[in-house]
Structure 1
Amino acid sequence: MQVSIVQFPGSNRDRDMIAAIRKVGGVEPNLVWHTDTELPASDLVILPGGFSHGDYLRSGAIAARAPIMDAVSKAAHAGTRVLGVCNGFQILVEAGLLPGALMRNSALTFVCREVQLEAVNTDNPFTERYSKGEVIRCPVAHHDGNYFADADTLARIEGEGQVAFRYASGTNPNGSINDIAGIFNDAGNVLGMMPHPENLIEAAHSGSDGRRLFEGAMNLLQADAA
């Protein structure tokens, strides 16, 4: 199994993601720089959190036009699984790999705290280790996580099961429409989410609710390879 993590100037959760892949999957991820034009052979590509290019223009807007994103887009359209967390979610949206937009938090402040997430669609490698409707813990840390989509797009992603996670129990930290915290693309192989599952995978984090997201995708990838 090959996992690639794309790094941008301003990435600051890439080390957390590297540690999560090592600890959960027991594999050493490939590190790919934003100016590269090719991806190594990859079963899973991850865009980690941070503040790529200082969040200038819009969060993720410059990174979405980095040379490596052509290769990420081709891989996604070929069926490779792609995970974008926080800034990675913003980049996927800006690159057109996921629908909608991520706007400034409704309170116009940076939020860094733990929220609760409801697993909405668990018929997917990323979420299959959760039970449908299960509420889990997960930390967030973002300024521009307010998910928005126009009425037609919202109806489509809701109706076609593209909502992966919602903020639950009144913990929506940013004003996201329909409490959306994470979405799939229409093919189901691309997941973008604002919360940070990589920061809740072991006892040192005071919990492991995020671990199952990585276990699900990586175990299925191993099964596919077999």
Structure 2
Amino acid sequence: MMRTFAIGDIHGGLKALLQVLNKLELQEGDKLIFMGDYVDGWSESSHVIRLLIKLSQNFDCVFIKGNHDVWCLNWLKDSNDVNPSWYLHGGKETMESYAGFSEKEKQEHLTFLENLTLYFIDEENRLFLHAGFTSLHGVKRERYQEYFYLDRSLWEMLVSMDKNIGKDSVFYPKRIQHYKEIYIGHTPTTNYNEPNPMNIANVWNVDTGAAFKGRITGLNIDTKEFVQSDELPKLYPNETGRNK
């Protein structure tokens, strides 16, 4: 039976990603949906992308575009394009991780990042995107594509509302009614003192704080069972990640 996993933000944590993949015990036919932010934070961003490219050769993979991936893409395209905010929030470590990489491999990584998708809707009308969206009519009517990897209003609105509000309530957010389920990353659940994936209404947040002091999560979207890596600071004891 085919399984589908949503894998939360990675932020250069190759060791943690390998732990998650090993715990999932992947089988032929499994689908992996990566929620974005593959880079920036821990020291192995370039190696994460290298692994993801190899994974896509053996498994059905969907790679969502995150905001950190956009910044890295711009730098790989033009080494003089160093966003100051990016540099301070993990970009420095990503740049350093490319030491020793050939121009050919950098080009392969650039191509990978250029081909990331803004969102994915599966055959059961489940939506996957990095951050959120604002259009009351759904993602296909979104005006600015940047919202897909930057918007926090969707999740913040849900956190502020009563999670027990059902679809029949006038308070149920209109923009999420178009989809059976929605899966996001971008805003760490650890911001809410929750180490595990969070579910509010029909939205699942699988960013469990790997960029900081949390873990990477792999969630089975059908059973809602999940596996997690160790906490990233334990895997990279001589680094700080984005814990500045």
TM-score normalized by structure 1?
Answer: 0.29
Higher relative CO (CA 8 A, sep ≥ 6), structure 1 or 2? 2
Larger Rg: 2
Normalised to the residue count of structure 2, the TM-score between the two structures is: 0.28
